[in-house]
Amino acid sequence: MLDLKFIREHPELVKKAVENKNEKVDIDRILNLDQDKRKLQFDFDNLRAHQNKVSKEIPKLKKASGDTSKIIREMSEISSRIKELSAALHQTSELLESELLKIPNLPDPDVPLGNESQNRLIKTGGTKKVFDFEPVDHLALSETNKLLDFQRSAKLSGSGFFAYTGLGAMLERALINFMLDFHITKHGYQELFLPVLVNRKAMIGTGQLPKLEEDMYRIEEDDLFLIPTSEVSLTNFYAGEILNLKDLPRKLVSYSPCFRREAGSYGKETKGLQRMHQFNKVEMVRIVEPENSYRALEEMLVDAEDILEALGLHYRILTLATGDLSFASAKTYDIEVWAPGTGKYLEVSSISNFKDFQARRASLRYRDRNEKVNFVHTLNGSGLATPRTMIALLETYQNQDGSLDLLTCLKSYIQADL
């Protein structure tokens, strides 16, 4: 959420940012609602003050045998007016709050303008493997090695869900454990294991709602949502709190299954594991002082890269353009891994700085060196999402006969005779 004072003082800048993010929000309407609210608040406060003052004088008038009937009638009228103002103020405040939640975060000045075609390549890493045969894709490898069963998972849940079998299931578990241990032991993150069902307030806090509600799985009876990423649980873990300076930065990591209806993804690539309704992900979240958030962003990018380097995979890093940024992000790096059998780069991580956008929505603050309470900055990044990482692993470490060379770093997590 943006600071309302900032919107008042920089309306054209906010309008331009909304346009650059391809969002539709009526900023002028928000400013008018804000003006209406302030006028109602002013009238309400003045009448309430007058009511309190006169109420104290009535007993004195009665004691002096004065006639109080007129003043009591006036107080009755004022009381009715106060109730009307209170109702109007409540209604206007709710409407203003609802509209403010529709405003996206402002892109940083160094973010490229434009849509996906304007994303800026900033780095490549790892070595692109050269084959002396034509590599096949992960679906062919999965069939040869009996790693996946899409037909039976569809029988259980429909399309867009997976079932790992045998070695596939063991590899998935090994990959998750490897990434968690790597972030904990080498990068200094604290692991949390949190609920995958969260309330509406938590989803609003990190910016999934109201914009993305149609993409979320919801339990209507309880108004609970299956998380689209453990960013929601991790960031909201401290919602409504004032953290001590000594407790910052917080470096948190969590594994969770993630659930997305992908309602707006029709026509996008959905082959195999590329786009699923349920998938696994290891997520990194940082909660930091504002002046440290961009250093933290660069550190988190390296943390995600380290996983790909350890897995021996080729990848590239892009800075996302304004129109490709998420609703809540001020700046995002995407990491795309090379899948040689599929023949393209696949996104496995987005590393984002939200600045104080999520913190304002979740009321997540800290007490600074001067004992002043301020909003923290929050960041998150995939470290990594497993489906496309698995695609790249299978396709990179395949042999001509369809067998696989398991990495030592993963094999050590598999307690089975392979």
- Do 219 and 80 lie in one domain? The reply is no
Domain membership of residue 61 as a residue range: 4-100
Residue with tokens 């406060």: 45
Neighbours of 46 (CB within 10 A): 11
110 within a domain of the structure (yes/no): no
Determine the Cα–Cα distance for residues 362 and 344; give it in Å rounded to an integer: 38
127 within a domain of the structure (yes/no): yes
Structure tokens, 369:
């060196």
| Region 224-238 average pLDDT | 98
Q: Which of 250, 260, 361, 365 is catalytic?
A: 260
- Do 252 and 364 lie in one domain? The reply is yes
- Do 170 and 301 lie in one domain? The reply is yes
- Do 313 and 345 lie in one domain? The reply is yes
Across all residues in the chain, what is the average pLDDT? 93
- Provide the domain count of the chain: 2
- Do 36 and 133 lie in one domain? The reply is no
- Do 161 and 202 lie in one domain? The reply is yes
Neighbours of 5 (CB within 10 A): 9
* Cβ atoms 242, 215 nearer than 8 A: no
| Region 322-335 average pLDDT | 98
Run of H or E residues at 338: strand 331-339
> Among residues 324, 305, 325, which one has the least CA distance to residue 315?
305
Total residues belonging to the chain: 418
**pLDDT at residue 137 greater than cutoff 70:** yes
- Do 328 and 199 lie in one domain? The reply is yes
Least confident of 229-233, 251-255, 262-266, 284-288: 262-266
108 within a domain of the structure (yes/no): no
Run of H or E residues at 89: helix 69-100
- Do 175 and 57 lie in one domain? The reply is no
**HEC secondary structure over 166-191:** CHHHHHHHHHHHHHHHHHHHHHCCEE
Say which CATH number the domain at 160 has.
Answer: 3.30.930.10
> Among residues 251, 250, 248, 258, which one has the least CA distance to residue 368?
248
Q: Which of 200, 261, 275, 316 is catalytic?
A: 275
Say which CATH number the domain at 75 has.
Answer: 1.10.287.40
109 within a domain of the structure (yes/no): no
pLDDT-based confidence at residue 267 (cuts at 50, 70, 90): very low
Classify burial at 95, counting beta carbons within 10 Å of its beta carbon; exposed 0-12, middle 13-18, buried 19 or more.
middle
- Do 272 and 388 lie in one domain? The reply is yes
| Region 329-354 average pLDDT | 97
**pLDDT at residue 309 greater than cutoff 50:** yes
Angle between helices 167-187 and 138-145 (to 10 degrees): 120
Active site residue 261: no
418 within a domain of the structure (yes/no): no
Domain boundary pick from 39, 71, 100: 100
* Cβ atoms 255, 182 nearer than 8 A: no
277 within a domain of the structure (yes/no): yes
Classify burial at 127, counting beta carbons within 10 Å of its beta carbon; exposed 0-12, middle 13-18, buried 19 or more.
exposed
416 within a domain of the structure (yes/no): no
Active site residue 29: no
Residue with tokens 């650059």: 20
Determine the Cα–Cα distance for residues 20 and 299; give it in Å rounded to an integer: 27
Active site residue 218: no
pLDDT at 266 (0 to 100): 46
Q: Which of 262, 347, 363, 367 is catalytic?
A: 347
- Do 123 and 89 lie in one domain? The reply is no
- Do 259 and 286 lie in one domain? The reply is yes
Active site residue 350: yes
Domain boundary pick from 100, 129, 156: 100
Q: Which of 350, 352, 360, 395 is catalytic?
A: 350
- Do 395 and 320 lie in one domain? The reply is yes
* Cβ atoms 360, 238 nearer than 8 A: no
pLDDT at 67 (0 to 100): 63
106 within a domain of the structure (yes/no): no
* Cβ atoms 116, 321 nearer than 8 A: yes
pLDDT at 76 (0 to 100): 85
Active site residue 388: yes
Domain boundary pick from 100, 124, 147: 100
pTM: 0.91
